[in-house]
Structure 1
Amino acid sequence: MIFNSVDEFREVVSKYAMVRGVKLTIRPNERKRVRVKYKEGCPWLLFGSLDRKSNKFIIKTYNSVHKCYKSNRNRLCNSKFIARHFRERILSQPEIKIREIQQLCRESLNMFVGKTVCRRAKNKVIASMIGDYRVEYGRLHDYADEIKRSNPSTTCFVKVKRDEDCVQQFKRFYVCFDAIKKGYKAGCRPILGFDGCFLMGPCKGQLLCCVSKDDNNQMFPVTWGAVDIENKKNWKWFISTVKMDLGMETGASWTMVIDMQKGLDSAIVDELPNVEHRMCARHMVELG
């Protein structure tokens, strides 16, 4: 048999071990040669190597005789194999429980797999879907520059902080598109609602947003930002930036609708002393 690569050969060997329920060991396991044999003295043997002429991976030795018992535990059923085998299922159901992945392994592969292996498999699939968030955060400055280039007069910036080793860490991100600013000033009433929520996923943080209502009484997003933590300092920064974007000055003739966010009420008093306050009716009902 001929395979396009050693990775394809290893994948077929792993599937064979799952279907037959045999414990196989791969040694040596190199890019140019791979030997597969049974772990406990069975004569079954498979050896393949890279052919220099065709640059294909070819089976050179194969002994198909088995003298072993089936097993429902196999080291080849590792996190890489599970991630490849159940990739589509995990992508379609990112919130799948670890015990559910274990159940899938038992039902479709007849294999008992530990929680740690299943958790690593799920993390591999999720990581391949969202990418390396460290690299993505490192490109936030480029993202902000591209937003300002493609949307002139848009307010967008990134603020970072440095740790003791001078490594940059994310602190704040803010964006208010010029088209939204013009649309708000042209067709919305001077009423703004402020709120924040948790950002889920590996990065965490807080999403701060400012919204209003248009002439059709529909939700109109004005601006939003992301911060590392929700506190008075970050709310004060967010409100001061919104104030400059919309020309609110001291807040006279403006109305703010808020709930009991951490530090939001005191930040509004500091930045917009003349604004009129209103509480979110939904939160008042929930608290009542």
Structure 2
Amino acid sequence: MPLLLYTWENLLTDIGQEFPNISEFHDVCKYAMEHHFEYVFIKNENYQDMKEITFICGANINVHKRASKQLIANLVKSKLDDTPRYKPREMIKDIARDYGIERPYLKAWRGKEIAITEFRGTEEDAYNRLPAYLNHLLKTNPGSHVAMQKRSDNKFRRVFISLIASTYGFKNGNRPIIFLDGTHLKARCHGTLLAAISIDSEDQMFPLAYSIVDAKDYDNLFWFLENLNSGIGMDRPIIFISDRQIGLGDNGSNMF
């Protein structure tokens, strides 16, 4: 599907046209790239109010230099909304096909990161909203078990989540087997994801609880198991299966 939007075709209406905001100006830039116009700034009184721009028609104008990472983000934003797994290499091919512009992989990757940030906000914003998310989760899933701790500098340390539906399913339909594992997160803020998985009656994986911690160490693993014990409250023997990294298996047998 072409990245060009039909609404851009009506953006240029008259000589001396003014643009009320930076967003509309970016749309005009996309239109210029699609139709091979070059544009020159005449006046910019305020960055948020792009006042006057001169467009020069040309059949073979090189518009590659105009394709900044911000403009790439604007070009692919709508498709990213529909296709979250839209890859930079696919972006490069689509932009080359629709605009005749070739951009390096790094520029496309940065453009994608900008677009994702504009959609979802930064990772720091997400962590700041975490307490509100946990409160909402408890209101909508009463009986669930959540816990969060911060470091002494008020930065995030760890969070634990186990939904009541998972606990109920484990107690009433699953085998008393829990698989414990962890994996490093590749996001910019890093951290480690710890997970407790059970097996349902059809031999399918059944998520029981998960935790995001700042490091995969003994203290965080013990904290995870402590909250897991509080969340499921089992009074029957449980079989734990893990790779036993950092004493994970021993902690489980001692805790339960």
Instruction: Name the TM-score, length of structure 2 as normaliser.
Output: 0.74
Structure 1 outlier segments of 4+, above 6 Å: none
| Equivalent in the alignment of 2:99 | 109
Of 53, 66, 91, the match for 1:76 = 66
1:261 aligns to 2:252 (yes or no): no
Choose 1 or 2 for highest CA Rg: 1
Q: Which runs of 5+ in 1 are unaligned?
A: 39-43, 45-65, 273-288
Q: Which amino acid aligns with 1:36?
A: I
Selected match of 1:207 from 179, 183, 193 = 193
Displacement of 1:246 in angstroms is 3.4
Residue pair 1:73, 1:113 contacting (<8 A) in 2 also: no
Deviation at 1:71, TM superposition (A): 3.0
Q: 1:112 to 1:271 in 2, by over 3 A?
A: same
Q: 1:5 aligns with which of 15, 20, 26?
A: 20
Answering whether residue 20 of structure 2 is matched by residue 36 of structure 1, we say no
Identical-residue share of aligned pairs (%) = 24
Contact 1:23 1:75 in 2 (8 A): no
Q: C-alpha distance in 2, partners of 1:20/1:181?
A: 58
Number of aligned residue pairs: 238
Bigger relative contact order, structure 1 or 2 (CA pairs below 8 A, ≥6 apart): 2
Deviation by residue 1:121-169 (Cα, 9 ceiling, x = unmatched): 2112222333232222112112222222333332112111133xxxx22
Answer 1 or 2: which has greater helix percent.
2
Go from structure 1 to structure 2 and tell me whether the alpha carbon gap of 1:189 and 1:134 turns closer, same or farther (over 3 Å shift). Answer: same
Compute the displacement of 1:232 (Å): 1.9
Amino acid corresponding to residue 187 of structure 2 in structure 1: G
Q: Is the 8 A contact 1:22 1:74 kept in 2?
A: no
Q: Displacement, 1:174?
A: 0.9
Are the structure 2 counterparts of residues 105 and 267 from structure 1 closer, same or farther at C-alpha, using a change threshold of 3 Å?
same
1:152 to 1:130, Cα distance in 2 relative to 1, 3 A? same
**TM-score calculated relative to the size of structure 1:** 0.67
Shift, 1:16, TM fit = 4.9
Q: Look up the equivalent residue of 1:255 and give its one-letter code.
A: I
Higher strand share: 1
Question: For 1:8 and 1:141, how far apart are their aligned partners in 2?
Answer: 33
